[in-house]
Every structure is written in C-alpha cells, then in structure tokens.
Amino acid sequence: MPELPEVETLCRQLREVIVGRRILSSRVIDPKLGLLPPLVGKTVQSVVRHGKQMIWTISGGTCLVFQLRMTGRFFWMENDAMPPHARLEISFRAGRLILSDPRRFATVKPWSPPVSSPVPDGLEKLDPKRLAEAARRRRLPVKSFLMDQKAVTGIGNIYASEILHGAGIDPSRPAGSLTPAEWKKMVAMAARILRKAVECRGSSISDWRDLFAGQGEYQLHLRVYGRKGEPCAKCRSKVRRIVIAGRSTFFCPKCQK
DNA sequence: TCCCATGTTGCTAA
DNA sequence: GTTAGCAACATGGG
C-alpha cells in the first residue's frame, strides 16, 4: 500500500507521539512480522524514512527497519480498542501503537548499524544527469525503472503513473531512450507530485489511513491512476490501462509520447 | 466464481 | 548481464 508520501506521512505523525517517549511494553502478535529485540524501558530516539522503509533508532543503539509492503498501517490508539488485523502492539504512557496488516506482508527487522543508502530518494533533489546515466542503455520500460528501488527509492505503482503523465512520457518507452530534457522534466514532476502528495497525507484510494485513521486527500488529485476510460485532464483523450511487469499502468496515449 | 489490489523476492527462460 | 514472466506470500473487496 504505502509509497513514499504515505510512509512520510506516518513518519511525521509518529515523531509527534513516540520520539523521546519510553516504551512500556511491546508484543508481537503475529510472529510472521519478524522478531523484535527487548524494547521495554528503551526510548525511541528518531523516526526516519528512506524510500518506503521506516527506520526507528532505539536508545542503546538498535535500529528497527519497518517495511509496510501492501497493507501495513500504523494506528495510534488512546483507548482500549484493538483495530482488526493487529500484528504488533507497542505501549507508551500516552497511548498504544498498533501495526495492522490484513495481508501480512509487512516486515520488521532489527538492524545494528545506522541504515544508510546511496540510492537517491524521490523527495531529495534528484539529479537528472545521474538518473540518465543509471538508465543508459537499459531497455526496460521507464515505468519499471522508476519503480526500481535500486534506482530511485519510494516511487510505487500509483505515483509512477502520475509522474509519467505529468512529464508527458509514455510508460513503455525504454528507460535508456529518454533525452536529458525528458529526465529533467521527469525529476521536476516527481518532486512536485511527491511533495504535493505528502502535503495531502497520501492517497486514500481504497483503504489507506494515516496514524490517526484519517484519510489522505491526494486521491482527489490523481490524473490517470484508476481512471481508465475517463478523459485525460490535459487533452480529454481517453485514459488507457495497460499492464507493465504485471502491474496496472494508466496513461494518456495522446499526450504521453 | 473470478479478478483485482499503493510491494518485494526469487525462480526460469529467452 | 538483462529482461520478461510468473509464482509466491495472504487477505479482502467488488
């Protein structure tokens, strides 16, 4: 489920309620999630995002790396209710944090050193020249390249379609065929769209909810994703749906070349 | 019943 | 080495 804007939203909200707070108890409800080191009495020192991963630094030097995959969500609970599909519960003085995950794809892993990565993040200032170089001579569809977490981190299926539409680029084009000007446009659109989506606290197209169970609003701004057969916002041609690498891909055949 | 789903990994074959 | 295609993971909604 969550792509960069959704994970960023959770990180920002989590910082408000758990950073600097002591853990009173922790309980892995579904062991498929992963095993946790002892956390009771420790403090959450920081919550950062890299791509779609969320990384907590815990006092004493441990890091926890969360991957929410398709349906993982965090909920902050200040009463005794338990959301459905709860997989992990961590209690603080002010409330409980629940990781809920219907499809059970989410993972958490302890990690000893600080997590760092040379892969540029979609919210950072991407460098069009670096991207063009990484894509050079590659024939895979540019949409797959954008979603390759080893090329750029954080862009998933929804925002890939949106960014390509914004940049006017056909998602099936070989990644290596884009001109420097097209990479420049792509980087500008990625920054604009992802920033706006973060401001909107993500896209609630089916069931995404933020830490406080609120809906995001970016679904109201989606131009092509999920809009098969509807008129393109730019040229009124019909939006098409195709499948690339097994994933639904939405684009306008007239204004994306 | 079937198809679809905001993700990732691993295998096989071209 | 690169890429496409597929299955797997597991569950719920239309």
Cα–Cα dist A217/A117, whole Å: 30
- The topology under which CATH files domain A128-251 is Helicase, Ruva Protein; domain 3 (1.10.8)
Which of A174, A42, A158, A164 minimizes the C-alpha distance to A110?
A: A42
Confidence (pLDDT) at A7: 96
What band does A56 get if pLDDT is binned at 50, 70 and 90? very high
Closest amino acid to nucleotide C6 (CA–C1'): A246
Confidence (pLDDT) at A207: 83
Residue spans of the domains in chain A: they are: 4-111, 128-251
CATH pick for A4-111 out of 3.40.50.720, 3.20.190.10, 2.40.128.520, 3.30.479.30:
3.20.190.10
Closest amino acid to nucleotide C10 (CA–C1'): A103
Share of chain A above pLDDT 90, in %: 91
Query: Protein A143 CA to nucleic acid B8 C1', in Å?
Result: 17
Query: Protein A59 CA to nucleic acid B13 C1', in Å?
Result: 48
Q: What is the mean pLDDT of chain A?
A: 94
Cα–Cα dist A19/A139, whole Å: 44
HSE-up of A228 (CA within 13 Å, CB side)?
Answer: 8
A107 touches strand B (CB under 7 A): no
* A157: region left, alpha or beta (phi > 0 left; psi from -120 to 50 alpha): alpha
What band does A65 get if pLDDT is binned at 50, 70 and 90? very high
What band does A130 get if pLDDT is binned at 50, 70 and 90? very high
Query: Protein A170 CA to nucleic acid C3 C1', in Å?
Result: 19
Q: Write out the two tokens for A189.
A: 């659109």
Query: Protein A206 CA to nucleic acid C14 C1', in Å?
Result: 11
Cα–Cα dist A232/A195, whole Å: 22
Q: Tens of pLDDT along A200-232?
A: 999 998 789 999 999 999 999 999 999 999 999
Taking residue A5's Cβ as centre, other Cβ atoms within 10 Å add up to 28
Q: Tens of pLDDT along A168-182?
A: 999 999 999 999 999
Q: Which nucleotide is nearest to A209 (CA to C1')?
A: B6
DSSP H helices in A148-237: 157-167, 180-199
Residues of A belonging to the active site: 2-3, 52, 247
Confidence (pLDDT) at A115: 60
Nucleic chain C contacts, Cβ below 7 Å? A 32, 84-85, 102-105, 138-141, 144, 175, 245-246
Confidence (pLDDT) at A124: 81
